[in-house]
Amino acid sequence: MSTEEENQTVFDVAAASMLTKELRDVFASGKTRSYEWRISQLKSMIKMCEEHEEDIADALHQDLSKPKLESIVYEITMLKNSCALAIKELKRWMMPEKAKTSLLTFPSSAEIVSEPLGAVLIISAWNYPFLLSLDPLVGAISAGNTMVLKPSELSPATSTLLAKLLPEYLDVSSIKVVEGAVSETSALLEQKWDKIFYTGNGRVGRIVMAAAAKHLTPVVLELGGKSPVVVDSGIDLQACISPDYIITTKDYADKLVDSLKKELETFYGENPLESKDISRIVSSNHFSRLTKLLDDDKVSGKIVYGGERDEANLKIAPTILLDVPRDSLIMKEEIFGPLLPILIVSKIEDSWDVINSGTKPLAAYLFTNNKKLKEQFVMSVSAGGVTINDIAMHLAIHTLPFGGVGESGTGSYHGIFSFDAFSHKKAVLYRSFMGDAALRYPPYTLGKIRLMKALMTSNLWTILRALLGLS
Amino acid sequence: MEGLEGTLAELRDTFQSGRTRSVAWRKSQLRGMIEFVQDNEERIFQALDQDVGKHPVEAYRDEVGVVAKSAKLSLSCVEKWMAPRKGDLPLVFFPASAQVMPEPFGVVLIMGSWNFPISLTLDPLIAAISAGNAVVLKPSELSPTCSSFLAENIPKYLDPKSIKVIEGGIDVCEQLLQQKWDKIFFTGSQRVGRIVMTAAAQHLTPVTLELGGKSPAIMDSSSNPTNMKVIAKRIVGAKWGSCSGQACIAIDYLLVEERFASDLIDLLAKTIKQFYGENPRESKSYCKIVNKNNFKRLLDLLTDPLVEASVAYGGSVDEEKMYIEPTILLNPPLDSQIMTEEIFGPLLPIITLDDIYESINFISSRPKPLAIYAFTRDEKFKKQILSRTSSGSVTFNDTLLQFLCDSLPFGGVGQSGFGRYHGKYSFDTFSHEKAILQRGFFPELEPRYPPWNSFKLHFIKLAYAFNYIGLILLLLGLKK
């Protein structure tokens, strides 16, 4: 059944069940396990990005009004990079890892073998709809699985484009795209998968994990959370549109706000709603949600910059709110929009408690030149990842695991972590028939305990003494 | 209920205070653990005898010794494991440094099981401690002597502010599972594993599930008579020598070619007598079935007349003593319960095949087991087993030892569970690996920021491809 036909008929539980069976059969055939298959898929993905760069940028623009350069920078290039890294490293990643053996199992040799999990489900999000769909796919492919990708319905142009392009460039028998919303996702979640990789919010994350629990399916949940930026005084801030909220001291706050205003004007001009570089809010639901945050009584009078909205075009100007109360609406949920609240603390060290009093975020940032502060921050603040003196960079570094903790998620990916996320690491022990100690077997005697104790402490001298009956 | 919530609140405060994070605290607890098992060895042996009829040798080998070994390893390695790991950084991010730093999850729940009531509670506890967490330990109520022994004595050796033992049955488990934990480590059955994970999902709590399954042993023809004796010992040891088959990595069933079956059964019978004497019921080296429920469950497996007819050795029982004789069955029907459910007891079905290579399809068409044991010297066969079956682990020419190898991850896949521990994997399983990126302020890359133009696009494309030459050329105006 081609994906087009699937879209025209209802994708229900029966269809989902057939789909998973098909993927399992293909997996059982061994097709996706060869190095050649994996490399060919990764290379085709790069080709797809290159040949359809315009189409992808157009879809992203349609969905989110993303400026073409932002799309290409953040999504397409990062994905190509991900593929290129996997192609370069795959042989090494696929190789078994030798494991040390001890006297306890002597003589023996051991290794850890990576093997694919089987049929995996990848559910993607709407904010980076291209990258967050295909980056996990790179991991699943490198690890040799068969897979279903379910792109977010909130970014429909990208979803449709992926449904069209993937079958053209990738192995359609092993890599399927299923478009749709709640009912299609539910149908998929009822099936037994060997792994589910979900990017999105905590509410749906819980639903995904509960569904996975029925089949004992392991999950990676890349969720969100309120990513804070702590700004120490004496820092020149440049760009900080991606964090969720800022914490700074009373003394520095005004200077910070001025600095931010200046930068925002440089980026977006004096009338940001008219700037070509502003992204659109993804849906009217999200637009209402965001305006509600701005209209909350607790933050009235706190807007120091921006606040303009254009409901017809679903645009909100970059907005700064100063000294918001910790119990305001805007501090209760992940913002996901161009609103930047600033919290004030008396001294910068108070920030750690502020952050830790909330749920653990995906990322936390600190800007400072003070070494002690940096150390305190790293030790005290629990987050998926932390970055000092920059924003969002740790996303792009393939040698660092990217993932959350607590409410911000479980599991991680990027680089080899993607490969590992979709692999099972099988322990293998090779033994021979030599070295069979009678002490292993019944009938048990107390003398055997002595020898066993010696063996388990792996102390040669003790073993010798035990063998000679001297201890 | 308030008692539990109060306990949890106390543990959270303790964790927040940072008490469990210092090297000193972790090492002191690990030393406490070593002292605990050393001081109480005899009493632990007695408790294990009481609960499952374990002989002290088995009790040392599978429980006390494992805990001592694990604690010693963690004690000597914990500082090394705690240290941040450097990550490579491509030049384009200069000046910067990247690290991965492990940090504890927070307050964790460990649910132990009844077959190894000491090691399967304390080994994960050692893991949680070395990673710096506060812990609630819930031993299985089906091994009540060990459970109360732990509840009474752990607080004497370990920090009672950070490590609590909570006893109880299903209702206590339910209450525990309703709470929000930072991690849950569960050892037990698939059925309860589902319940645990479903409860964890409500709080997005990460879990490790150490479950079971039907771990098969394969035996081909490539062994000579001397080796056959060793093989027989290893098979008997792996089926009946560890808690009478009530172990997650025990051999569940055996696959062998038709022509070797009867000789194998004779050899196994001989070995059983060697280990347990003429009357295993009187042997002190043989464990009992843990309780009436499991006893009945195992007997029920034999009530199917076709299954009963396939009993080739053993089969006698003594309900009073919770004793089931080491029993071998030859070709019970493949759709019978004994061949579809995890046996977890002293019944060994032998399934014969025309060609031993068929064992690969046999195993791969069934749920993924925790362990596969293959007795073979055929290198081609070994490779096929490795590449065409999936399991938590594979051990060639031996049994159970993968459990003792600290450098090998111990855990399942598919229905046998997910997550792993032992050695450093124990530390990792209770840690969050936090990515840390530090940057200097100079130089600052303007092309990262709006307003966008084609120069910036070009710059970023080159940067992301780590094309330094291209970057330099572009900056010098020599590249279009």
| Interface residue of A69, A271, A463 to substitute, partner B, most B CBs within 10 Å | A69
Residue of B nearest to A96 (CA): B386
Instruction: Using CA coordinates, name the residue in chain B closest to A239.
Output: B449
Q: In which band, very low, low, confident or very high, does the pLDDT at A69 lie, cut at 50, 70 and 90?
A: confident
**Domain assignment of residue B440, yes or no:** no
Instruction: Report yes or no on B362 lying in a domain.
Output: yes
**pLDDT band for position A434 (cuts 50, 70, 90):** confident
User: How much is the pLDDT for A238?
Assistant: 44
pLDDT per residue as tens digits for the range B312-323? 999 999 999 999
User: Which residue pairs, CB below 8 angstroms and at least 24 apart, start in A289-294?
Assistant: A290/A316, A290/A335, A290/A336, A290/A337, A290/A339, A291/A316, A292/A329, A293/A329, A293/A330, A293/A335, A293/A337, A293/A339, A294/A319, A294/A330, A294/A339
Is B110 in the same domain as B47?
yes
Cβ contact B335:B355 at 8 Å: no
Residues A287, A281: contact at Cβ < 8 Å?
yes
Chain A residues within 8 A of B230 when measuring between CB atoms: 433, 436
The pLDDT of residue A214: 98
Same domain, B203 and B269: no
Average pLDDT over all residues of chain A: 89
For chain B, what percent of residues have pLDDT higher than 90? 85
DSSP symbols for A355-378: HHHSPPPSEEEEE-S-HHHHHHHH
Chain B residue numbers touching A239 (CB-CB < 8 A): 448-449
Q: Give the residue numbers of A marked as catalytic.
A: 222, 240
β-strand pairing of A423-431 with A108-116: antiparallel
pLDDT > 90? residue A447: no
Whether B104 and B37 map to the same domain: the answer is yes
Do B235 and B380 have their domain in common?
A: yes
Query: pLDDT over 70 for what percent of chain A?
Result: 92
Question: By residue range, what is the domain housing residue B471?
Answer: 446-480
B/e letters for A104-127, b = 16+ CB within 10 Å, e = fewer, are bbeebebbbbbbbbbbbbbbbbbb
Give dist(CA A229, CA B293) in Å, integer.
57
The CA-based dihedral angle spanning residues B445, B450, B454, B458, taken in that order and rounded to the nearest 10 degrees: 30
Q: What is the pLDDT of residue B304?
A: 92
Helices and strands (H and E) in chain B: how many: 19, 18
**CA atoms of A22 and A26, how far apart (whole Å):** 6
Q: Decide if B64 contacts B41 (C-beta within 8 A).
A: yes
Tell whether B416 is covered by a domain: no
Q: 3-class SS at B168? A: coil
Q: Is residue B333 in a domain?
A: yes
What letter represents residue A420's amino acid?
Answer: D
Whether the link from the prior residue into A107 is cis, omega within 30° of 0, is yes
Mean pLDDT of B446-457: 67
User: Among B210, B257, B325, B342, which one carries the catalytic annotation?
Assistant: B210
**Residue B441 domain-assigned (yes or no):** no
Please give the pLDDT value at position A449.
79
pLDDT value of position A96: 97
- Tokens linked to B178: 């309703």
Say if the Cβ atoms of B434 and A385 lie within 8 Å.
yes
CA distance A9 to chain B (A): 32
Any catalytic annotation for residue B243? no
Note the pLDDT of residue A127: 86
* Average pLDDT estimate for A208-235: 90
Q: What is the ipTM of this complex?
A: 0.91
pLDDT in tens, B160-197: 999 999 999 999 999 999 999 999 999 999 999 999 99
Encoding tokens for residue A97?
A: 């890892």
Query: B346: closest CA among B274, B254, B239, B235?
Result: B239
The predicted pLDDT at position A260 comes to 83
C-alpha of A335 from chain center: 18
User: For position B191, what pLDDT does the model report?
Assistant: 96
For residue B246, tell me if it sits in a domain: yes
Token couple for A384: 């998926």
User: Which chain B residues contact residue A432 at CB under 8 A?
Assistant: 397
- Out of B209, B393, B432, the one facing A426 most closely (by C-beta) is B393
List pLDDT tens digits, range B68-96.
Answer: 999 999 999 999 999 999 877 766 666 67
Q: Which of A379, A435, A410, A365 is nearest to B182 (CA)?
A: A410
CA–centroid distance for B233 within its chain: 24
Q: Given CA atoms B255, B257, B261, B267 in this order, what sign does their dihedral have?
A: negative
Asked if B205 and B227 sit in the same domain, the reply is: no
Maximum distance among all Cα pairs of chain B, rounded to whole angstroms: 91
Shared domain check, B342 and B202: no
What DSSP element (H or E) covers A146?
Answer: strand A146-150
Q: Which of A105, A213, A441 sits opposite B241 (nearest CB)?
A: A441
Retrieve residue B141's tokens.
């109520």
Q: What is the CATH number of the domain that holds B221?
A: 3.40.309.10
Between CA A433 and CA A452 the distance in angstroms is 19
The answer on B70 and B18 residing in a single domain is yes
Are B222 and B206 in a shared domain?
no
Specify whether B144 is located in the same domain as B292: no
H/E stretch holding A409 reads strand A409-410
Give the nearest chain A residue to B431 (CA atoms).
A405
Residue A471 has pLDDT above 50, yes or no: no
**pLDDT score of A234:** 64
Residue A334 pLDDT exceeds 60? yes
Based on the structure, what is the number of domains in chain B?
3
Greater confidence (B195 vs A398) lies with B195
Tell me the chain A residues in contact with residue B436 when contact means C-beta distances shorter than 8 Å.
378, 385-388, 394
The whole-number pLDDT of residue A239 equals 41
What is the model's pLDDT at position B23?
Answer: 97
Q: How confident is the model at residue A169 (pLDDT cuts 50, 70, 90)?
A: very high
Residue B170: CATH number of its domain: 3.40.605.10
On the question of pLDDT at B292 being above 50, the answer is yes
pLDDT band at A265 (very low <50, low <70, confident <90, very high): confident
pLDDT at residue number B415: 97
In whole angstroms, how far apart are CA B337 and each of A327, A355, B184, B307, B334? 57, 53, 31, 9, 8
In A, minimum Cα distance to B396 occurs at A430
Please state the rounded mean pLDDT for residues B271-280.
95
- B432 CB neighbours in chain A (<8 A) are 382, 405
Q: Is residue B438 part of a domain?
A: no
Confidence of residue A396 (pLDDT cuts 50, 70, 90): low
Verify that B61 and B181 share a domain, yes or no: yes
Angle between helices B23-39 and B144-157 (to 10 degrees): 130
User: Angle at the Cα of A409 (from A407 to A414), degrees rounded to 5?
Assistant: 150
Residue A240's pLDDT band (boundaries 50, 70, 90)?
A: very low
Residues B181 and B223 in one domain: no
Q: Helices A156-169 and A35-51 meet at what angle, rounded to 10?
A: 130
The mean-pLDDT minimum among A106-110, A372-376, B42-46, B71-75 falls in: A106-110
Residue B387: closest C-alpha in chain A: A115
**Closest Cβ–Cβ partner in A426, A428, A444 for B57:** A444
Q: Which of A325-334, B246-255, B450-459 has the lowest mean pLDDT?
A: B450-459
Q: Which of A55-64, A329-338, A418-427, B12-21 shows the lowest mean pLDDT across its residues?
A: A329-338
Residues B297 and B334 in one domain: yes
Q: Which residues of B touch A77 (CB under 8 A)?
A: 460-461, 464-465
The answer to whether residue B463 is domain-embedded is yes
A194-199: average pLDDT? 98
Point out the least confidently predicted range of A426-435, A462-471, B165-174: A462-471
Q: State the best of B17, B57, B94, B381 to mutate against chain A, taking most chain A CBs within 10 Å.
A: B57
Asked if A430 lies within 8 A of B206 by C-beta distance, the reply is no
| Inter-chain CB proximity A424 and B432 less than 8 Å | no
